[in-house]
Amino acid sequence: MSALLTTIVFSAPPAGGDLSILPFDSSDLLLFRWPLIVFAVVGAIWFLLPRSKTALRQLTMELLLMVPLYLFYLFVRGVTEGRTSEAVSRAASIIKFEQAIGIFWEPRLQAGILDMGFVVNLMNWIYMWGFWPVILLSAIWMFFRHREAYHLYRNAFIISGAIGLLIFALFPVAPPRFMEAWGFVDTIAERSDVYRLFQTPDFVNQYAAMPSLHFGWSLLLGTAIVGQATHILVRLFGLVLPIAAFASIVLTANHYIVDGLAGGSVAMLGLLAAVLLRKLFDRMSSSERGAPQPLAAIANAIGRLRGDRPAQPSDSGSG
């Protein structure tokens, strides 16, 4: 088994062969749906901002942090362009690994729903609309209503995203939808009117199957919702979200089962690191009052990363 895992990561691309991918038609983008998302985001901020203690400056600073990080995430995902043979070879190794351990169920599972139009459309819809729109609206809710938890999970997203980007750049893996010889069908391209709406192949390289941050981040978000929501239906949504996400990534042929398991592991590793960093920052902040000025400045900078207000120096001089 260890040899197979090594092959997955380090296998060399096969010599020769024309490994083409599905063509992309920009007319499938249906850009008219983007204003709906923008309207929902602006409406949520407009509703929540005056009902919270959040200053517009705090929101602006958060956007100045997260928007460039998101663009950088998309950019780094594109550095694997031109490595098609390597990505397909590694995908074949993943299939062999799953066959060896008896979990290569994806073609059979997908074949079981291809004649069920409602299920196919539901999985496509969950994959496209149950990821970035849900992450964005949930982030707004947590930023305004559960700020401390927001900073914890934001940092977990950043850390797990950094781990994922490193793997994407070093070890590209083709998703199942490019492995048609094994019976996979790209249901989003063939059955849906929304084809790569949020991450178009013209902008983002598609060889980022392992690990599946699509599932990993859905797991992170579900954990946050269950932990912070008070209404039973909202908590139930948080519980169902990662389950639905895992089903959608497999049944739409966008990820292998092991991709999802790896993505969940990376996401939980990111959350663990964020918790440990918070404890470290708390200890640094507690010793800030008596610290020399340079160390106090460092502690203040760390506090701003967490979303805290900079500590004000105490008046120690006599009147």
Q: What's the pLDDT tens digit per position in 284-299?
A: 777 655 555 554 555 5
Displacement of CA 189 from its chain's centroid (Å): 21
* pLDDT for position 80: 54
Kindly report the average pLDDT of the chain as a whole number.
76
- Average pLDDT for 107-124: 92
Whole domain around residue 267: which residue ranges?
57-274
Please indicate, yes or no, if residue 194 is contained in any of the structural domains: yes
Whether residue 282 lies inside any domain: the answer is no
| Total structural domains within the chain | 1
HSE, side-chain direction, 13 A CA sphere, residue 29: 14
pTM: 0.73
Has residue 305 been placed in a domain? no
Instruction: Let me know the angle formed at the C-alpha of 120 by 119 and 126, rounded to the nearest 5 degrees.
Output: 85
The top-scoring range by mean pLDDT among 53-67, 147-161, 178-192 is 147-161
| 299 within domain boundaries | no
- Which tops the pLDDT comparison, 190 or 44? 190
Q: Is residue 167 part of a domain?
A: yes
pLDDT tier at 221 (50, 70, 90 boundaries)?
very high
Q: Tokens for 317, please give them.
A: 């001089």
Residue of higher predicted confidence among 65 and 301: 65
Residue 120 in any domain: the answer is: yes
Whether residue 258 is contained in a domain is answered as yes
Which has the closest alpha carbon to 245: 281, 20, 237?
237
In a domain? residue 8: no
Residue 81: per-residue pLDDT: 59
The band of 28, judged by pLDDT with boundaries at 50, 70 and 90, is very low
Query: Cα dist. 71→25, 77, 78, 103, 203 in Å?
Result: 23, 10, 11, 35, 11
- Structure confidence at residue 8 as a pLDDT band (50, 70, 90): very low
Q: Which residues pair with 208 in a beta bridge?
A: 173
